[in-house]
Structure formats: structure tokens, C-alpha cells
Chain A
Amino acid sequence: MKKTLLLALAGFIGTAAAAQNEGTLTFMNSLPQVTYNNPAIMTKYKLSIGLPGSSIAMFYSNNGFAYKDVYTKVNDSVKADLSKLNSALKPNNYITQAMQIDLFRFGLQITPKLYVSLNSTAKIYNRILLPKDLTNLFINGNADFVGRTATLSPKAESVSYLETALGGSYQVDDRLTIGARFKLLKGVTNVTTQNATMNLSVDNSYVLSANAGMDVRTSGINNFSQSNFDLGAHAKDYFTNNGFAIDLGATYKLQDRLTIGASLIDIGSIKWKNNTYGYTMDPAKAKYTFSGVDLTKVVNGDNNYLNSIGDTVQARFKVKEGAIGSYSAPIPGKMYLSGMYQVRKNFTAGAVFFAEKFRGRYAAGVTVGVNKHFGRIFSAAGSYTVASNSFNNLGLGMSLNLSPIQIYMVGDNLLRMPLSGSELNSFINSTKFFNVRLGLNYVFKWRDKMKKADTNNVDPSSDDDKGLRRKMYKNYTPDKTRKGINRE
């Protein structure tokens, strides 16, 4: 059975999750969305507009296992291979899914040194931590835990919010460009695992000791468990969770051809007020050691003893739930460090180190890649990314620049899809890290002038600093490419 790309992607994303970092996007300087990775970067176009759906991004990452680790083929029959899965797992397996949809985007170069942008973006981020010990318990039982303590508690994080951001980049001098974006956040739903522990110890005599604790906070979710909840009547409540975040970035030209960049993205938090509901378990109470049936009590005829075990465990590990007060929770923050080298005209090679920090997890990756402009019409990027414990991520970026329309697609593991053969199976089976951003922008006026310091966005048509331009892009004509002379 064959399915279309969109169906496949939708299904794939629907069962997985992603970290939000995008390495290849940094190379795609033809896209206005490149500023999402560093607000200091000035885009190619003086004016860009994005309407709802102009940019849809989906992310998935799983630092533990790929689908191929889940099954084994036996005589052309597919069987779940739990041992294989278990051996593939890392101690802490983070499965992340995220999505971003631009509702509106506007970018304008006001002066040659100043570029401003305004955007409204809906963001969804879900992450679950699956400890290997937990899956090991179901796959191999608890015999593996003898003599040690197993960590069993999963942790879930989820946040959805609407971001309205006003940003700008300013060229300070020939080398330095700085940028910032200020974001007003409206939280929609949230799940924050402030604390969740479930430890199980098994000693050499098989004595089981468990202790647990939980402090999970939610906002906007418990309403949906109420049968009489009317979302329409309470829609306004879902925009009472205010927050603020900031993006900071800078690029610096170290040499004529070498520019480095650094940025911090989504540094902020949301104060959750609407329908806040908590689930707690007191770690001081949630402890129990079961050494077996207490022979002393049984021998002494304590008939209620066996029943009391269940009652005691139930009482000690009872999850209390109820409405809670407001609370603040950060949004996933990201960091990018980039270095771009202008190898030749319209051809840039570079590397991007990126990281995400969110609720106790620091996840990093690195992308090396190249970017090539084929005139103004088509820009492409190729990349290789190491992230989420996976090393097979070949990225691809493409933009078809048919001003005023720009159609694009970029992703860190996109190129491996066509390279995997006639079917997506081998791609899906081996994918642990994947993201894609695609959409349609309205773009106007490829910038004729470009400050020489902005080598991340080198404009071959810039009239400023003609010495540099002549040196770098001699005989370059923006509207068409002259074969044979378009090189230094």
C-alpha cells in the first residue's frame, strides 16, 4: 500500500515528537524564517509577508531508539523484538514532538542597517521522558534490578502557546550585527512535571523497596475531563496565561569570508493561571518496603495483616489531585552557534552547533552543511547533522524564489528520504531525529544593497563597499547568471 508524503509525515509525526532545533535552516539565508535561529541575521528580501500557514514546522527526536529497534523480521513476518528495543534504549529516553505554525509574519528593511519583523506563531511542544528501567521492567522483569535501584518514573512536559514577537536587527559596524526579538506569549495549555520520582530497589533477597514523589502541574487541561465544559464559553480564559520571552543574537565577521553567529532563542516563561490543576504525591509518605509476608504476624494470627498491606500501599502512594494556584514555567530555550565560510560566490559552507535546554535536559547537536544559490530562482542547502544519538541525518533545504512567491522546504533529515530508495520504510525505520519546515512566503525586493559585514547574507549586488563586492562577486549580476565568468 502506497501513501502520499503528507500522509506519511502526518502519521509519523503523530506517533512521535521532536526537538525544536533546526540546523539546516541556518544555511537557508534565502528564507525570512532564518531569523528564527538568529534574530541578528538580515534576510535576503526587503519585505516579506507570511500569511497563516506560511511556515509550518514539525519536529521529532528520540534519543533512544528508532523504529528498526522495535521489530525483527522472521520469515517475512514482523514481530516486536522487545529485547532489541531494550538494548537500544538509553538510560533516559526523551521523545519529543513539536510543531510551529506561523499565523502571520511581516519583515521589512527600514534602513540598510535596520531590519524589523513582526510575527505571530503558534507553538506546541511535547516531551516525554521514558526511563530505560521502566521499559526494562516490562520487557525483562525486575530481576535485572537485583542489587540496585531502578528509576521508573516517566516525566511529561507539554506546552502550547501563541507567540507575538517584534524583532529587529541592527548593523552596528562593518563586522558586528546584533538582533533581538521581544515576545509576548499567551499560554494555551501546559503540563509541567515539577518533580516525579518512582524508584524501585530490589535487594539480593528480592526485598522490594519503592519510593515515589510527584508534583505535576497542568493548565487548561482538566477542563476537558469535565462533561459540562463548554470550550466556546471559556475560550477567553485560555488567553489569560501571560508570558514573556526574548531572542538575542549577533553575528560577527571575523574575516572577509568567515562570519560567526550566536543566539539565544525563547528565553522566557509563562505564568499559568487558567484552570490550573495539580497532581501530587508526598515523597515523605510514598515509601514502602515489602520484604514478603511477615511471618511473625501470620504465625501470630494477625488475620487482617494481608489485607492491610494493600491498603497501606494504596494509602501511601495515593495521588492527590485538585485545583492549584498559578505557577510559572519556562518555555524550551535554544542556543545556536554558527560559523559560515564563503567558499566562493553563492556557495557557503559552515557548521552550526545547537542546543536546547528545557526542564533539566540539555540536548545538543551539530550540523555541517553548504548552501548554494542558483541565481535568485533557486536556493539549496545540504547538511549532515548529529543529534539525538543519531548519525545518519542528511539534511536538505530548497527554496524556489519566484518573487513575490517563495516556496520552500527545509529539514535536517530530509535528504535521506529520497536516498532511502523507492519506499520510505528504511528512512522511517532508522530515523531518530527529523524536522521539516515548509511553506510559502510572499517576498519582495531582493536586497540590492548589503552591508559587507553581513556575510551570513552576502548580497552580491550590494553597492556598499564595492571593493569587497568586486572582490567577492566580480561580474555578478543578480538577475541572471553568466556562465563561465561567475567565479573568482
Chain B
Amino acid sequence: MKSKLVLSLVVCTIVWSCTINDKDFQIKGVQSNPTLVAPLAAGNLAILDVLSDQDSANIKIKSDGLVYLSYDQQLASQDIRDFVKIDDVNNQGVVVPVPPATYPPNPNDQTSTVITKSVDMGITPEQLTEIAFKSGTMSYSMTLVPANNNFLYAVNLDIPEFISNTSGQPFSQQVSGTGSVQLSGYTFKSATANKFTLKLTLIIKKNSSSVTVLPGTNLNVNFSFKGMDFTYVKGFLGDQTVSLPAQTIDVQAFGNTLQNGASVSFAQPTIDLTVTNDYGVPLKITFTKIEARKQASGLTIQTNPTSPIPINAPAALGTSANTLVSISNVSAVVNFAPTQFYYQASARINGGLTSGNNFMADTSKLRVKMHVEIPIYGKASNILTSDTLDVDLGDLDQTKIDSATLKTSVTNELPLDANLQFILTDSKYKFIDSLLTSSQSAIVKGSSVDSNGELSAATVLNQSIKLQSQKISKIFQAKKIIVRAKFNTSKDASGNYVNVKFKSQYKVKMQLGLNVKMKLNATF
């Protein structure tokens, strides 16, 4: 009985207790304050990374690591072959008398009268002793007066000054009636400048019948030379001056990165002009105007030597000679950071001379090449770069962010300070706010340098930048974030900018992280 009672009591107690008040299980809300950390950006940046992509092909490194910009640009290629022009030579008539007689039938050709004529090509002021014809046509026509159809004839034409390029023999050809001969393939070579000789020999052709030639019979031969052009010429080209057309040349030589209002001063830039001359003639160039241009302003470039600048000539046809022309105010030009070069010049050959052994080919050029070297060694301030990011955090609940801290760790070997700012704007770039206060924007501190501008000690800057809550909330209103960086080179202890060197091995190691404390609250 006792056991049954105990059993009953236990069972009843269990059953009675087996009820649940579900209030404890109806969770009405949840709150959490997680803190999330994440890396934002990292990198080992060198000066090579910072320089503009447009300059990248021109960035070079000296043996000690000093980075420099090297530019070679063909400024112009002037053609002065137009000094020499060979005009047409027309109506060169030659009368060949035919001896009167009754000629019996003859089985072979027989030579008869010989007539020579000197022809002046009329070239002036050039005195050419050699012309390699690239083109040209010699035309001829002949008429027998009075006409005699039974008389068979021809003419042997010899021009001793026209030498075949292939056989090396003077021109010699039997011609009759009318016809033409191409001069290409022949080179005029004469001890007497500009002149050649026509030698005509009458040929009485074989004939099976006898024929009578009346007294006073002449063979009239007419020559013309047209379309002559040359592959090269030699001789004296005369004292001539030509004005070269003005040239405006775009240059990228001065680093796009360093534009945009930056104050930049380079310590050891160089600009050289190299004139390469194919013309075998004494030549001087006079720059009537040469200047560096940027937007609406210009800066006169001072050359060394000054105009007129003697240009070296090659010793033989087919070779070139170089003449180096320096820019004496190079620092001013480089610091001016021009975007264009403009120059106007004239060229004079054989100035004051009356004779000479000149030559030129039809392919000869006068080439001017600019070589610029700008070591990244100097001082600069207010170099600005910026980029715009599109953002749209409108769907996020800004109240969920309790606080945010930007953690920066920067070890900088570059002698360059960087101030970073995030500018918040609306979709029309209307300013809303800047994310960092002015005291927070100095993210990177430049390294210190020695008297030679070389790295003395890297700077290490670890900061935790707590973002102001009112500024965080404006991120959610922004549609665009303009990331703007302003760079200045390092200063000395007195706060003055000094010349600093940027070497390829100098790095800025950056690690940016974000610490965000969230405020999550949900109700059910």
C-alpha cells in the first residue's frame, strides 16, 4: 500500500509539473553589437606606381636606382631637296646636211655627216656635275628636206655624258623618224656643270636601187628632254636660303602626373636636340622662334649654340652627320612643364660660298630629335590626384553603425607626404561633406633625407582615426566619393622644401583597415 501511494504521488507530481508557460519562449527581440574589422587596402607602392600610366614607357632607372623620365621625340623632318629642280629642255634642233649625189645601190650601211651640239640644262644657281636620273624622257623627231622617199637614212645618237648605270657605257643609239628614250638608268656625269653633248652621225642605209640627193638637202632633227628628276645630284648647290614651315609639336615629356597646378622643381633635367643631316652641303639653321608652350602661355627656349646653328654635313652620299644642340634654360623649360613645342626656322646652304662639292639624294632629310631626361630629383608641392567612386548606400540603415575607426599603418621610404581626403558629394557632385577632419587627413608622412636628397630614415606612422559619427551618417547620403590625395615632398628641419631623390627601391608600405562597431536591434 505504501509503495502504491509513493508511486501515485510521484506520477501525479510529474504530470502536474509537465506544463509549460510559453512566455519564456516567445522571444520579442534581439540586440547585438558586433565589431567587424576588415582590411581596406594594402600595397607596397613605389614611385614607379605613382607616375602616370602615360609616362610609363618613358620611365627609366639609373644604376643607383634614381628614377628618371627619358623621352626621345622626333620633332621634325625637313626636306630641302626642293632647292634643286631640273627643268625641261625643249626644242634642241640639229641640222644634219646630206651630201648631194647619186648614190648607186649599196649592200651595206654607210656613215656620212657628223654633227655635235652642246646642250645646257639651264639649272641655276646649282652647278651640277652629276645627276642620277630617277625619271625623264628624251624625245626626238627628224625630217628630210626636201623629201626624198627613195633615200634611206638613220642617225647614230651619242651622248657621252649620259652613262648607263648598268653597262657603264655612254649613251649611243641609232634612231630614225620619231621616238623617245627613257633616261632612268642613266647618270649624267660631266666635267662641265649642267651641260651635255649631242653627237649625231648620219647613216645612209643599204639600198638595192640607186638614188639621187639634190643639193641643199638637210636632215632636221629635233630633241626635247622632259620630266627629269634625280635620285641624287652632286656639284655645287649654290648659296640658298629656305624658310621652313612653322611646326607645333605635342610633347608628353614632362609627366602628366605632375600637371594640375602642382608646383614642381626638378634639380637636374636635361634637354638635347640632335640634328641629323643627310645633305652633303654646308648648312646653318636659324630659329626665328622657338618656345615651349603650355595652354596660353609660352617660354622662349634658349639654344646652345645660338642661331644660326651650323649643322654638320656628312662626308659621303648615303651617310649622315649629327649636330648636338643643347637647351641652356632647361630647368626653366622642364619646370614650366610644357605640352607643346613651337618653332619657326630657316635653313641656308653654302652661305657665302661660290663653289663646292655638294651632294644630296632625293631621300635626304634633316631630322631633329629631342631627348629629355628628367631625374625625379627635386621638390614639389600640391601634386593632386583624385578619383571618383560611385556609391549608393541608401538601402542600408545608417543607424546600424555605432562607430567606425580607420586604422592606418604606413612605413614610408618615399620623401613624400600624402594628405588623403574623401569628399562626399551627391550625384551632381554637389559637396556634402568630407570624411576626415583636417587633422586626420595626413595619412602618410614623408621620409627624411640627407643633404644629397637621399633616404635618411623611413617614417612609420600608425594611426587609429576615429571617424566622427555625423560624418559617417553622411556617407549614406552620398552618391559619389571623390578620393583626393595631395602630395608634397619632404621638408627639412626648418620646414623648407629641399631637393629629394626618388629611387626605385624606395617603397611606401601601406595597410589600411576599418573597424566598425555595429548596432543591431531587431524586434519580433
Contacts and interface: CB of A to CB of B under 8 A. Distances in A.
B3 A423 contact: no
Interface in A417-433: 417-425, 427-429
Interface string B1-32: 01110110011011111111111111111111
Contacts, number: 177
B407 interface: yes
Given A79-B29, A202-B37, A294 B7 contact: no
A11 B25 CA distance: 12
A421 B20 CA distance: 11
B106 to A, nearest CB: 91
B36 interface: yes
A400 B7 CA distance: 8
B53 interface: yes
A420 B3 CA distance: 23
B515 A206 contact: yes
Q: Which among A139, A144, A296, A398 has the greatest number of chain B C-beta atoms within 10 A?
A: A296
A141 B511 contact: no
A78 B25 CA distance: 8
A377 interface: yes
Interface string A70-107: 11000001111011000000000000000000000000
Interface string A392-433: 000010101000000000000010011111111101110000
Interface string B488-524: 0000000000000000000000111111011000000
Interface stretch (B40-48, B133-141, B373-381): B40-48
A130 B90 CA distance: 109
Q: Which among B7, B53, B518 has the greatest number of chain A C-beta atoms within 10 A?
A: B7
Nearest to A423: B21
Contact of B31 (A70, A79, A301, A375): A79
Nearest to B3: A374
B35 interface: yes
B42 A141 contact: no
B394 interface: no
Contact of A207 (B11, B42, B49, B53): B42
B16 A418 contact: yes
A295 B23 contact: no
A139 B32 CA distance: 6
A352 to B, nearest CB: 22
A315 B38 CA distance: 21
B30 A79 contact: yes
A143 interface: yes
B50 interface: yes
A78 B27 contact: yes
Contact of A138 (B4, B34, B40): B34
Nearest to A379: B3
B99 interface: no
B409 interface: yes
B305 interface: no
Interface stretch (A2-10, A33-41, A43-51, A158-166): A2-10
Contacts of A83: 32
A299 B44 CA distance: 11
Given A301-B53, A378-B3, A378-B4, A78 B23 contact: yes
Contacts of B409: 205
A429 B13 CA distance: 19
Contacts of A419: 17
Nearest to A483: B2
A293 interface: yes
Interface string B368-392: 0000000000000000000000000
Contact of A79 (B16, B27, B38, B511): B27
A288 to B, nearest CB: 12
Contacts of B16: 418, 422
B49 A299 contact: yes
B185 to A, nearest CB: 57
Given A79-B30, A377-B4, A425 B20 contact: yes
B39 interface: yes
Interface in A340-375: 374-375
A143 B24 contact: no
Contacts of B13: 418
Interface of A: 1-5, 8, 67, 70-71, 77-80, 82-83, 138-144, 146, 202, 205-208, 290-301, 374-375, 377-378, 380, 396, 398, 400, 414, 417-425, 427-429
13 contacts: A1-B21, A5-B14, A71-B24, A78-B26, A80-B27, A140-B33, A143-B35, A146-B37, A202-B37, A206-B38, A294-B43, A378-B7, A422-B17
Given A292-B42, A295-B41, A423-B20, 10 more contacts: A71-B24, A80-B29, A291-B511, A292-B38, A294-B42, A301-B53, A374-B6, A398-B11, A419-B17, A429-B24
